[in-house]
């Protein structure tokens, strides 16, 4: 059985989240560079087919809190420091997906399929 358009659209969202997270995890980030990194991440993922919108929010309060506990001026980017929302459209199917932390794990989920 071939996947449905909705299943394919959800798969596309998953691919984009995997790319976003694993491409940028470990990137040095500071409060001064957070905005430019957010923009770079969103624009990079929006280049991929079927991706129509990406919003990356680096949680500067979480970042500043982590930096207070160490001597470096930056931290390595992890899911702990970001929230992401994404819209994928495939063959008329609209998928909204997001990433937030669940405990210590960055959970990526499909929020809506139309």
Model confidence over 42-87: pLDDT tens digits? 999 999 999 999 999 999 999 999 999 888 899 999 999 999 999 9
Task: Catalogue all structural domains in the chain, each as residue range(s) with its CATH number.
Answer: 5-113 (3.30.1300.20)
Residue written as token pair 């937030």 = 100
pLDDT digits (tens, 9 = 90+) for 10-32: 999 999 999 999 999 999 999 99
Structure token digits, residue 108: 């990526």
SS3 32: coil
Give the dihedral of Cα atoms 22, 102, 15, 23; nearest 10 deg.
-10
Specify the pTM. Answer: 0.91
């Amino acid at each position: 059985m071939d996947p449905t358009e909705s299943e394919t659209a959800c798969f596309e969202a998953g691919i984009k989240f995997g790319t976003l997270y694993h491409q940028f995890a470990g990137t040095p980030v500071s409060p001064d560079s957070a905005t430019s990194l957010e923009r770079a991440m969103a624009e990079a993922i929006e280049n991929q087919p079927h991706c129509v919108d990406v919003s990356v929010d680096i949680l500067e309060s979480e970042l500043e809190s982590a930096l207070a506990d160490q001597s470096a001026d930056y931290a390595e980017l992890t899911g702990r420091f970001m929230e992401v929302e994404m819209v994928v459209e495939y063959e008329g199917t609209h998928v909204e997906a997001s990433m937030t932390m669940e405990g210590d794990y960055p959970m990526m989920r499909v929020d809506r399929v139309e």
